[in-house]
Structure 1
Amino acid sequence: MVLGARMKRWQSVVLSVVLLAGCGNDDQPNSNADERLGGVAQPNTEVQDAGADEAKAFVQPVEFDISLRIDEAGRLVIEVSTNLPEGTRLRVMAERSASGVSWRDSQEVVEGAVSAGPFGPGSGLLEGEYRVRVMMPPVSVQPAAVRARLGDKGQHLTGEWVAESEHGLGQIVEAVWQVRIEPSGVEFLP
């Protein structure tokens, strides 16, 4: 009887091993191609759909249409329409010519426009001349979708407001207007 019990135990162990060995999942393809080795990320060799990641190059001159207004507190509000791609980061600045005091705002293009401000102290801006500037920082600091449209160094940018970056970072955009703030509103100067 003891010999029979040992045989049954031995048979049950062998049967279990055989059953477990046969429990592979034959429905899944061999996954060795996706295996990561040694805790080091391996390059992804999957071919991606080139059309999905390719953005249409920006092939038109940069355009700005600017509108300025003084709000009820006497501060300057700057609204800019542009054809730059959605998500482009812009810096908008207003500077008093007489003193050099300036106010800045950073915005992203949404539906072809940015609105910046209000600029100035709580008591309102003083009458006088101001410089209004709209700048696009280098493409290297723009979102990936914008970089794809403008080129890694901004090589797709053209137009009167496109300039070379001072630091060799490619092309940037900078538009400047001189204005005069008066009690009657804002007047553009030549």
Structure 2
Amino acid sequence: MHKTLGGISIVLVSALLLAGCGSQEEEPAAVQSDAASREAELQQPEEMVVEDVEPLEVAISTHATLRTDRRLMVEGETNLPDGAQVQVTIEREISRVRWQSRTSVMDGQFDAGPFGSGSGLPDGGYIVRVQLSEASVQPRDVQARIGTQGEYLTGELVSQSRHGLGQVATYSRRFLVGSEPRRTRDQVTVVEDN
């Protein structure tokens, strides 16, 4: 009896294995064709329509104002496209302490701040730096204008990203905070108490 049950079990298992392997139904031709075309799309890179994009010579300017609490506000103008993400950094020359803020360009303008500690900025020299973030983090509309690697950016403010992510634009300007202008030989803007 055991031999009969063992033999039946082997026959059933063999039959199930054969049924699972050999009796696949054929897919309709339309389904096979759709699957093949989807696979072909995945294997081939999407063709991008290459448009003739005019180079953008980047222009950025800033104006810094000291609030009554001695914290700094930065306003700027640029020809970067609306929605462009920029990072504004203020750095104290003596201590290298930095304050940063991300902001977006709107109607050719941007603003950031207030910068500084709660007690305000001490008198001294500072550097304001505005950097256009890499194209990979920019909105699609901005990427369309500047290029996916920033390749449409030109001008003296444009350089290669430190991380190999294409071109970026960086503007910097030195200024002094204090009520009395300091003696200096370089071009510097003095931001006075209001």
Tell me whether the two structures share a fold, i.e. TM-score over 0.5. Answer: yes
TM-fit CA distance, 1:60 = 3.3
Kept in 2: contact 1:55–1:149 (CA 8 A): no
- In structure 2, relative to structure 1, the CA distance for the partners of 1:75 and 1:58 (3 Å cut) is farther
Contact 1:86 1:108 in 2 (8 A): yes
132, 141, 144: which one aligns with 1:148:
144
Q: Specify the alignment match of 1:167 in structure 2.
A: 163
CA distance in 1, matches of 2:181, 2:90: 15
1:142-189 per-position Cα deviation (integer Å, ceiling 9, x unaligned) = 111111111111111011110011222110011111111112699962
Shift of 1:121: 1.1
- The list of structure 1 runs, each at least 4 consecutive aligned residues, that deviate by more than 4 angstroms after superposition, is 40-43, 53-56, 184-188
Q: Structure 1 residues 185, 149: CA separation in 2 closer, same or farther (over 3 Å shift)?
A: farther
Whether 1:121 and 2:128 are equivalent positions in the alignment is: no
| Superposed CA RMSD | 3.1
Identity %: 35
TM-score by length of structure 2 reads: 0.67
> What residue number does 1:134 align with?
130
Aligned 8 A contact 2:92 2:127 in 1: yes
Pair 117,158 (structure 1): closer, same or farther in 2 beyond 3 Å:
same
Aligned mates of 2:95, 2:130 — CA distance in 1: 20
Residue of structure 1 equivalent to 2:188:
189
C-alpha contact 1:96 1:128 (8 A) present in aligned 2: yes
Determine whether 1:66 maps to 2:62: yes
Provide the aligned length of Structure 1 versus Structure 2.
149
Alpha-carbon spacing, 1:156–1:56, altered in 2? closer, same or farther (3 Å): same
Structure with greater helix share of residues: 2
Structure 2: 5+ residue runs without aligned partners?
A: 1-29, 42-47, 190-194
